[in-house]
Amino acid sequence: MSGLAPHVLKKIKFAAELFKQAKHPLALTGAGISTPSGIPDFRSEGSGLWSKNEAMEVASLLTFRYNPLEFYKWFHLLAKQIIEAQPNAAHIALDSLEKLGCLDKVITQNIDILHQKAGTKSVIEMHGTLRTLSCTQCFSQFDSADFLKAFIENEIIPHCPDCGAILKPDVILFGEQLPQKAWLNAQKAARKCDLMIVIGSSLEVLPVAGLPIQTLDRGGHLIIINQTPTYLNVRADIVFTQDAAEVLPLLAEEISNNGR
């Protein structure tokens, strides 16, 4: 199957069995699924934007309201990384599982749109999306593509074509509440779910980190793929510490070859 150790391959087979038995499998993804695509895991020490800047201050709603130019100065590198990034093998594997009818939804903490680029249809974006921008004055919403291209290439700050006010990316900044509809849909999915696979999330950011508990408390199973420990490792059926871009394609292949 691959160069992975025999005990890891055994866990992949076990995980495939859990998927075969599940009626409502669900994926919860975090920053770690996108690092192979060149987007930094912001909370890893020495790498990523959180450690290079005071991002909890700069990437905040307060800073955007009172000093949007400072926000956009920080945001430039991240926007460039996201726009240029392509789905990796882990994103593609999740799309394959959805197409096989083996995955109901993907709940993601990421704003990078990589699940959608991979083809996945049912995605709940907990921290917003970079696909659109909204006016801070008249609240008109616009597709972000042309604005971000001008911003990345020429550092032109996006402004509203209707009223001229500055546009804000439709992502959740520090100090903002989660989008209510997404949160309600995520809770509903987690409660219905009988198998949740957590991929690339350290499960440190509430309230999303509590979603697996809702599945576990209703008798569901839990698989974790993350290179660092989470608080739920002790309750998971299976824990993989390998790269998701290596494990997930093998899991999808095992499920596809043996049927659900």
Q: Which of 7, 127, 159, 221 is catalytic?
A: 127
Cβ atoms of 133 and 167 within 8 Å: the answer is yes
Kindly compute the dihedral angle of the four CA atoms of residues 72, 76, 79, 80, in this order, to the nearest 10 degrees: 160
Kindly give the confidence (pLDDT) of every residue in the chain, 260 residues in length, as a single tens digit, with 9 standing for 90 and above: 467 788 999 999 999 999 999 999 999 999 999 999 999 875 555 445 555 445 667 888 999 999 999 999 999 998 999 999 999 999 999 999 999 999 999 999 999 999 999 999 999 999 999 999 999 999 999 999 999 999 999 999 999 999 999 999 999 998 899 999 999 999 999 999 999 999 999 999 889 999 999 999 999 999 999 999 999 999 999 999 999 999 999 999 999 987 65
- Fold of the CATH domain 1-39+87-127+178-260: Rossmann fold (3.40.50)
pLDDT attached to residue 52: 46
For residue 54, give both structure tokens. Answer: 């005071």
| DSSP assigned state of 97 | H
Residue type, 146: D
The Cα 97–Cα 253 span in angstroms is 9
pLDDT attached to residue 196: 98
- Fold of the CATH domain 41-84+128-171: SIR2/SIRT2 'Small Domain' (3.30.1600)
Residue-range domain boundaries for the chain = 1-39+87-127+178-260, 41-84+128-171
Active site residue 127: yes
Q: Is the peptide bond before 36 cis (omega within 30 degrees of 0)?
A: no
pLDDT attached to residue 42: 59
Token pair 């900044």 in the structure block, residue: 173
Cβ atoms of 20 and 11 within 8 Å: the answer is no
